[in-house]
Structure 1
């Protein structure tokens, strides 16, 4: 079995204080995608990622963003949108830089976001899968929906909304390229992360009240809908929980939201169809020993690796030529 998780950590130092290291050591994940690590390299706490190989793209926005993928085995290859990727093996004291291959050139319009620490992907050594971690911009409201006095942020004339929609347009092109490139390498593709979009009424509490809120605008939902197809990418959690309200993965820190479970499902596993078919369980770790790790919670999915290999008709793959028997 291959256990894979995604978590918007909302600051690695704050999450460590809440028990992230203990959760990571005990959850027995093979792969963990992280978003909003929010730490420059020199400020990463010692041992923050336990015994995992870490690939970290901090970006160049001070105190913001930052995405990572943690793996049990050293990845076969690493890619990001910037010129270099940052890699550390277990036991190493410092991260070091490695050039990222340019076999998937950036789509038109995406270069303006390349240094923001929003995307990194790896080819797993233990499975024929390319795994990506994405932090998609939160965005804002279009100008006609902005009402001064009823917003937590100052009105901006729709600037944040336009920026998010521009990102979505560019990323859709990049996602198609990346997925096809993974297929050309003989790999399945799994996109994980905080998409800052709830897809449908089952994905947000009191959804009728949210239709004019960022993250649940019709055009955002339409964009996500266009990325999903039984032949292209599948929402793994929704496939396993087709009629469930939620399971939510984000709750406001405001009093009562978490306790009442009035949340949003905005953290996803989006997988190519063959990989999605072998997902056996999907759970949200709402807390760890009574403590929230972040305003998000980990979304953990088990994938039947043995079945995936049978479906692909091969027991050997990648540059290592190895297979994984899986946990009992």
Structure 2
């Protein structure tokens, strides 16, 4: 099973109205994920856009709307089907979608989310809310743009490259020079494993910005994650950032993919 997370940037459209959806579809189709988590789906809840997008990929979509920020979705490729699906209700600026799929090793919970990009305290609250709804002794994946640097890396140089306007997003509040890594650290304490570190696939390490997709608020940062409970981490073969070709311009984020020793169990309903 291949899983993928991708922040497609403002619904796949630029401020001048130019659509990047064909390039985004090309990036995704080249990877052919079985499970796909998408973020920044501005406008995808109107006029059947999500359904058309999903049909172009041959996938089934499950949308979690946001009434304040931007919606997210989890998509499944046949023969995968949802045993249950719906939004995680909670204190999200954006949203979180929860889909349960049946696999050859039992049910797999997939959560796709987009944490608050602006305020570290709210980002931490969102991370805690999700962590409290995942059981570490079950198979579960958390994928998405977490907007948080990790607690294992020295981030001093990349923080220094940010303008003061954006640096504050990644620093603890008050008179301190400490990088705010609390959201990812909280998820790790809850038992989730960073598959990129656990099963590295080589290549690029940062997920934002891309070379041609904008992203002036980034400075070579890994903000997009695929995390799994220990039961899923044991099944991870590789995890890597997708780069090159259309991925350089389709969004300001690179997608992340992971390969798991799992397969769908179809026809259970």
Supply the RMSD in Å over aligned alpha carbons: 3.5
1:192–1:268: 8 Å Cα contact kept in structure 2? yes
What whole-Å deviation, never above 9, does each CA across 1:243-274 have from its counterpart, x for those lacking one?
x896111117799989xx95100000111012
Match of 1:78 in 2: 85
2:24–2:250: 8 Å Cα contact kept in structure 1? yes
Distance in structure 2 (CA, Å) of the matches to 1:277 and 1:226:
21
Match of 1:194 in 2: 145
* Aligned residue runs from structure 1 range 41-52, under 5 A: 41-45=45-49, 47-49=52-54, 50-52=57-59
Taking structure 2 as the reference length, what is the TM-score of the superposition? Answer: 0.77
* Aligned residue runs from structure 1 range 209-228, under 5 A: 209=160, 213-215=168-170, 217=172, 218=178, 220-228=180-188
* Aligned residue runs from structure 1 range 1-328, under 5 A: 2-14=1-13, 16-17=20-21, 19-45=23-49, 47-49=52-54, 50-61=57-68, 64-72=69-77, 73-82=80-89, 110=91, 113=92, 116-126=93-103, 128-139=107-118, 161=119, 164-169=120-125, 171-172=127-128, 174-180=129-135, 183=137, 187-200=138-151, 202=153, 206-207=157-158, 209=160, 213-215=168-170, 217=172, 218=178, 220-229=180-189, 232-241=191-200, 247-251=205-209, 262-289=219-246, 291-305=248-262, 320=268
Distance in structure 2 (CA, Å) of the matches to 1:284 and 1:126:
25
Distance in structure 1 (CA, Å) of the matches to 2:88 and 2:206:
29
Q: Which has the larger radius of gyration?
A: 1
SS in 2 for 1:226: helix
- Cα 1:320–1:44 change in 2 (3 A) is same
- Cα 1:16–1:76 change in 2 (3 A) is farther
Q: What is the Cα deviation at residue 290 of structure 1?
A: 6.7
Distance in structure 2 (CA, Å) of the matches to 1:194 and 1:203:
20
SS in 2 for 1:197: coil
Distance in structure 1 (CA, Å) of the matches to 2:95 and 2:59:
21
Distance in structure 2 (CA, Å) of the matches to 1:256 and 1:294:
8
Q: What is the Cα deviation at residue 192 of structure 1?
A: 0.7
SS in 2 for 1:179: coil
> What stretches of structure 1 of length at least 5 have no aligned partner?
83-105, 140-160, 307-315, 322-328
Taking structure 1 as the reference length, what is the TM-score of the superposition? Answer: 0.64
Distance in structure 2 (CA, Å) of the matches to 1:290 and 1:178:
32
> What stretches of structure 2 of length at least 5 have no aligned partner?
14-18, 173-177
2:94–2:116: 8 Å Cα contact kept in structure 1? no
Q: What is the Cα deviation at residue 203 of structure 1?
A: 7.5
1:246–1:265: 8 Å Cα contact kept in structure 2? no
Distance in structure 1 (CA, Å) of the matches to 2:60 and 2:245:
23
2:211–2:248: 8 Å Cα contact kept in structure 1? no
